[in-house]
Structure 1
């Protein structure tokens, strides 16, 4: 194996392999092309054989048809058919039939008259007319005035048959049949014309049976023959032994059709291909010999070329091995040659010169490397110092800001908790005032009931309308809403004080009017006294609420710093006093005023309670937000510490280098 590793051996093997490949390719291509040409020639021969056979049979059919037309056109024949005169028909047909039968060109003539009655048969006498409409479709076609021709399977065997109409005055009056047996003589003439054997087969009792032929037996099996009934079959090759060696045959089948195009039999055509196969083998052997001689010549030439190439390359290889080993003083051979070897030698010389230059550069690079490393170390130290001074300052500022934010969040949380506590105290006082107002409302209802009783007795009453509108706007953020709600509570407390004062005044007026009424107003005087007492309690409760509201406003101011009032409660109250016609009417008006005032007081206390609840909820939300702010500030502080450590680690890595 070592000897085949040299360039010379591999060149010889390469040239030999290429030559062998080319020779094999040429042989394969030639064989393929020859096979394709032979196949094309064979298919053409098969098509030509089938066409010639069909044409020969058609020519025989046309001959029969022409003979029939000539007989049918004779006046004596026309008259005999018109009269259905069998003797007259025989007088016209018999002489011609006997002459043609002696020459084996005709087997019979038959005359049929409408509607399908066989009147005359040349080869056998007819005792009485026979109805043949069920078995001779060509007769019916001729009776319709059309000529029909094709193959039929008669009792005597496969025959060529034609049917021509016998015309009288432009209309068919009968049919003249002519039949010719497809015998060995006819098949022999076709064989001589197409240079192929013919074997005719037909299906009888479910089996394909030989009817006639130029050979004792065919080459195709029953399946292929049945396929031939539908159309031409593919060629089938066969080899048979003979005294001189082997005989090669190609067989295929074509259908034999009746007048309507229906198959009645199949013709097997057998072509002898022995000479063609022998010529093909001789051509292949000649091509193989020529390719072998060319391969030997290529191997000898490649040996000479390889030796001329390998020697200078071996010298060049030795020089390149010396250069690769570091022996740069090695001399490069063949530098004066003008061919590819000389170009290779020049390239190797360039390689040698470059290697010498690289050696010098390596020495210079080693000198520069030390100086470069020192400068790199100094530059890294400067960069680390600058980075630490810049980024470190930013990190310290972030840490300081996060600490201040955390302290602010803690302060805001404490203020929100204190505000929520004060709002709870105010809510409790408001609920107590609301209970007192509800008591006043109950007493007012009782007083109104008494006044209504008196009004029914005096049948007079009047209405005093009172309108009070309270409108409040506050929401520009959760913290500003706290201040607005606190101010609104103060206004409501003042309104309650005003209502309590008016209620006290109305109760006093009711007492005076009850005194004027005498005994009828005693019950009213008692109720007015209770209303006055409840008004005093309401005033006291509102004073307590006012104090709590002041404390809440102080706490709110401390929590938000600067909350601006964006709205105030506008109250409007008007009284329409009508002349009271009698003391009873004055008492009724006073009573209704008391009831309405009590309802206003109840509404005010409910508003206070609602606002206090809003204050408490807002305080809770403020505390929650402050808690989230505190958590975020703590996270920011931790991130600042982490960033400080990362910066310190980065600077340390840079300084280490």
Structure 2
């Protein structure tokens, strides 16, 4: 039982390995996706941090620019924009949208903000939300502390201009405060920690980006390795299944197919395997052994049955030979006697029939002669009347013959038109036959091209063959039509010739009508003489008929007796033949058993 589960256990192990490799591949893919998101977040944080830091630097420059512009021009707009920059940076005023883009240059030029505003939030709070470190804030606080001197200097200069009654010297002194060496010294002391802040910010965000990029690279490698491991495990599993399962099963299947085809010399593979396939192979081996034993028993039984059948057949043949010798001769003698009796009855019947036939013929001839003579007598009396009627009908016949002559002319013209139409039909049939021959030729060419095309031209070859068949059928049909047309033309010519003959005959009829009129008069005189002669012959015929009637009655009685004898002999002979057939059938069945 333990050995029979080898393949199952192997399949479970392979499945577990494939599952673990798939799980590892999914896990590394998820980590890779998360690392890519972290890298994207690091890039976004680096960029947003740079924008906030750049806003701090840009706002410092804008404060300097508007302070100088106010001192130089005394325009209150520049002072107001100076104060707005401080209010926005400290969170006291709403922050403009897109503040990192160009803003104060447009306000200075037009007096109107280029975009709307959002909520009020200080720059330091935005920096904390962006993840600025305490060390970075320390640099900013240092810059803030260093800016006090610069603010006092700017406030002093702007205060001189704000009094409105400053002298030219005081204005010149105020401008000197914003453009002098002291101003630049304060400015540099502020920008130095800001510059250090930029360096720290760049290092921090660059490190975060690099760390995220390293994780992406690491998880990418891990994902590739997991895919490679999964593929290798799949290949190894496939090779293992093929070598341990598929190939033995395929060989075992071939062996089973050979056994199903009664190939008893087939070797059963994998009989020694200690797994499920080995069990199947051993079961197949038992099946093969049982088949061989069954064949041996079947052959042994067939041989025994054959010997018993031979012995039984020999006994039956011996019995049949004895029966045929004792009974067959008697049956043959009976059949021969009945045949001779039938021949004698047929001879007697033949002579009686002949006598009856001859007497009947003589009697019929006599009666017919008497009847004919009587009819001739009656006909003679009517002949005179008919002769006069013939003269009248002869004149009408002449008129009808003339009409027939005219009709034959019209019929000739109609048949000539029919012959012309038949000729035209023959031309059309010839054209159809030519088209059929061309179609047959095209179909033959298409069949050749389809044969050259190979497998792709089989469908076209079938269509070409159908077209060729239709063309051949069309050709045969046109030939049949041509033959019919030729027959019609021949019949038409014969009809024309016949009608010409009819016309000539009608002319001869006209000529004969005149001759009939003169012959009628001569016929009337002859009719009276014929009537007298017929009366004498009729009396002689009646005497002959009475004599023949007695002979016919005697022949009829003889024929009836011969017929009864022939019927009995035929029945006797039929029984003898039936008996012989039954004997032969019985002997045949006995010998065949």
Alignment TM class, shorter chain as reference: under 0.3
Structure with larger RCO (C-alpha < 8 A, sep 6+): 2
Structure (1 or 2) with the greater helix fraction: 2
Q: Which has the higher strand share?
A: 1
TM-score (norm: length of structure 2): 0.24
TM-score, normalised relative to structure 1? 0.22
